[in-house]
Amino acid sequence: MSEDRILPETLKLDGSADLEAVLAAWHTATVRLEQTHETLRAEVCRLTDELEVKNRELARKNRLADLGQMASHIAHEVRNNLVPVALYLSLLRRRISADPGSLDMLEKIAASFTALDVTVNDLLHFTSDRDPHWQSFPLVKLIEEAYASLAPQLSAQAIKTATKVDGNLCITADRDMLRRAVLNLMFNAIDAMPNGGVLKVSASSGPQGVEIKVADTGEGMSQDTVRRAFEPFYTTKRGGTGLGLAIVYRIAEVHGGQITGENSPKGGAVFALRIPHQAQKAAA
pLDDT digits (tens, 9 = 90+) for 214-265: 999 999 999 999 999 888 778 877 666 677 898 899 899 989 999 999 999 9
Third-level CATH fold of 134-283: Heat Shock Protein 90 (3.30.565)
End-to-end CA distance of the chain: 96
How far from 80 is each of 66, 126, 128, 129, 241, CA to CA, in Å?
A: 22, 18, 18, 21, 19
**Residue 144: per-residue pLDDT:** 94
How many CB atoms lie under 10 A from the CB of residue 226? 14
- The CA distance from 212 to 242, in Å, is 22
Per residue in 153-204, pLDDT (tens digit) is 888 889 999 999 999 999 999 998 999 899 999 989 999 999 999 999 999 9
How far from 250 is each of 28, 40, 138, 221, 230, CA to CA, in Å?
A: 54, 37, 22, 21, 9
Position 37 pLDDT exceeds 80:
no
Domain spans in the chain, listed from the N-terminal domain onward: 1-129, 134-283
Task: Write down the pTM of the prediction.
Answer: 0.63
CA dihedral 9→15→20→26, nearest 10 degrees, is -170
- H/E segment holding residue 164: strand 159-164
Interhelix angle 244-254/100-127, rounded to 10 degrees, is: 40
